[in-house]
Amino acid sequence: MNVIGTVESLWRYPVKSMRGEELEEMFAGYAGVYGDRVFAFTSSLSPKGFPFFTGRDQRQMIRYHARFRNPEKAARPINLAEAESSGANPAQTSTRTTNSHCVARTRP
């Protein structure tokens, strides 16, 4: 297997356009990083089809640091063991481009 890169750090942004949190481990699936951009602020003045505030429009939002009250519950899906027992094993699929999911860890 050829190494194509090294992960230096892992980041998740619980609220769109707010500062994120650095993680030592994260779960990623077809829908992206678990717990990433789960929440967002909307505005009735925003254009139709994209009602969200962004850091470009509301620069002060980036000053705030969002985090989960119970980070252990936001680390991975609650049915992960069930998914793995059905054959979706990240250890077997993490090197393929058709992953169902993978768990990424930074190097110590």
> What confidence score (pLDDT) does residue 93 get?
34
What is residue 47's DSSP assignment?
P
CA angle at 80 for the pair 75 and 84, rounded to the nearest 5°:
140
Handedness of CA 1, 23, 40, 31 (dihedral sign): positive
Q: Is 60 helix (H, G, I), strand (E, B) or coil?
A: helix
pTM for the model:
0.65
Digit-coded pLDDT (tens) for 32-69: 888 899 888 888 877 788 888 888 888 888 898 888 88
Structure tokens at 55: 């850091």
State the chain's mean pLDDT as an integer: 76
The domains of the chain are located at 10-105
Query: Residue 97's pLDDT is what?
Result: 30
Largest CA distance in the chain: 51
